[in-house]
């Protein structure tokens, strides 16, 4: 039983890492708004059977009518807020992938683990010394990763890093709402809200066609069903009863899998300078997780 949890979290990290490849390949056929819209709707639909099973289980405590209304209101509020922020974060990441590599996007997205404790300071949450050491190491790593021969940041790098900041806000929203409502149901709602946000952009900026969607059906299904639906579900199962510090470290390996997937599937190569940056950013992620071992990063399954 002690091995089951870590193996499931490792599988989730692998699914999320490979999802960067699916996102990149999918945009060979459809635009970023279309990809995010269809992916999110597929994720929401794929979670409906899970929600149905949970609703029929009869394990939820009985509530009075007023309590039930307040609970539903909180659930909808959480789903709408989280889905909107998730939609903005995801589209920034999706567009950024058009201008940067899968490996760099994976590592830059992983910076949410550092950004979360920084945002937590605004809520009066103190950080340990190793977190600040991690911030310094991450900044150095990002310099090696993103700056080439003195050139400025790539446009895609900037978008992906901003998306990491938005994902951090999403994590804090999840942290606020998850004790107040059913996490699986709220996740299902947020995917439909995220899809609605992307739908607006798709109608304004893109003109998708059925042949384009059919050409991208494999990456769309992977990103929708596996990355969002399955990844989120096995994360919940795997993290149950585990040390949160160990869980956070295992899930942060998605950035490593993103690099490996880009190398094996897309044949993308990182220079020695960029590889050093990747190593430094990964070290910073480890440092940031050691002091407090928070479960903040647990909710990232829902951006991929």
Q: Which residue has the higher pLDDT, 255 or 202?
A: 202
Helix axes 4-26, 32-56, angle to 10 degrees: 150
Reported as a single tens digit per residue, the pLDDT across 103-157 is 677 777 777 767 777 777 776 666 667 767 777 777 777 677 666 655 567 788 8
pLDDT of residue 248: 60
Which of 43-47, 63-67, 225-229, 241-245 bottoms out in mean pLDDT, i.e. has the lowest? 241-245
pLDDT higher than 70, residue 292: no
- Distance of alpha carbon 193 from alpha carbon 41, whole angstroms: 9
Q: Which residue has the higher pLDDT, 213 or 146?
A: 213
pLDDT of residue 34: 92
pLDDT of residue 42: 93
Q: Which residue has the higher pLDDT, 239 or 201?
A: 201
The secondary structure of the chain as a DSSP string is -TTHHHHHHHHHHHHHHHHHHHHHHHTTTS-HHHHHHHHHHHHHHHHHHHHHHHHHS--SPP--HHHHHHHHHHHHHHHHHHHHHHHHHHHHHHHHTTTS-HHHHHHHHTTHHHHHHHHHGGGT----HHHHHHHHHHHHHHHHHH--TT----HHHHHHHHHHHHHHHHHHHHHHHTTTS-HHHHHHHHHHHHHHHHHHHHHHH----HHHHHHTHHHHHIIIIIIIIIHHHHHHHHHTTS-HHHHHHHHTTHHHHHHHHHHHTS-----HHHHHHHHHHHHHHHHHHTTT--SGGGGGGGG-
Reported as a single tens digit per residue, the pLDDT across 214-234 is 998 898 998 888 887 788 777
- Distance of alpha carbon 178 from alpha carbon 186, whole angstroms: 8
pLDDT of residue 152: 64
Give residue for tokens 């990149």: 24
pLDDT higher than 50, residue 298: no
Q: What are 102's two structure tokens?
A: 């899968």
């Amino acid at each position: 039983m002690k091995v089951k949890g870590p193996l499931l979290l490792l599988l989730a990290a692998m699914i999320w890492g490979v999802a960067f490849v699916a996102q990149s390949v999918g945009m060979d056929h459809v635009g970023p708004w279309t990809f995010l819209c269809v992916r999110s709707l597929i994720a929401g639909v794929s979670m409906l059977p899970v929600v149905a099973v949970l609703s029929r289980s009869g394990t939820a405590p009985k509530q009075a009518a007023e309590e039930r209304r307040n609970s539903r209101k909180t659930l909808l509020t959480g789903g709408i807020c989280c889905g909107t922020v998730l939609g903005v974060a995801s589209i920034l990441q999706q567009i950024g992938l058009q201008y940067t590599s899968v490996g760099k996007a994976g590592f830059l997205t992983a910076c949410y683990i550092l950004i979360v404790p920084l945002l937590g300071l605004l809520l009066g949450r103190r950080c340990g010394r190793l977190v600040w050491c991690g911030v310094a190491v991450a900044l150095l790593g990002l310099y090696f990763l993103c700056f080439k021969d003195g050139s400025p940041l790539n446009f895609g790098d900037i978008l992906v890093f901003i998306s990491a900041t938005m994902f951090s806000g999403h994590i804090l929203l999840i942290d606020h709402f998850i004790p107040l409502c059913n996490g699986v149901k709220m996740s299902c709602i947020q995917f439909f809200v995220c899809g609605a946000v992307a739908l607006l952009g798709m109608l304004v900026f893109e003109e998708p066609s059925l042949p384009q969607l059919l050409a991208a059906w494999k990456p769309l299904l992977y990103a929708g069903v596996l990355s969002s639906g399955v990844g989120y579900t096995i994360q919940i199962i795997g993290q149950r009863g585990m040390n949160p510090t160990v869980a956070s470290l295992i899930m942060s390996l998605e950035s490593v899998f993103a690099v490996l997937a880009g190398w094996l599937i897309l044949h993308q190569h990182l220079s020695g300078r960029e590889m050093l940056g990747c190593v430094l950013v990964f070290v910073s992620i480890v440092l940031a997780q050691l002091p407090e071992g928070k479960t903040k990063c647990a909710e990232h399954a829902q951006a991929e």
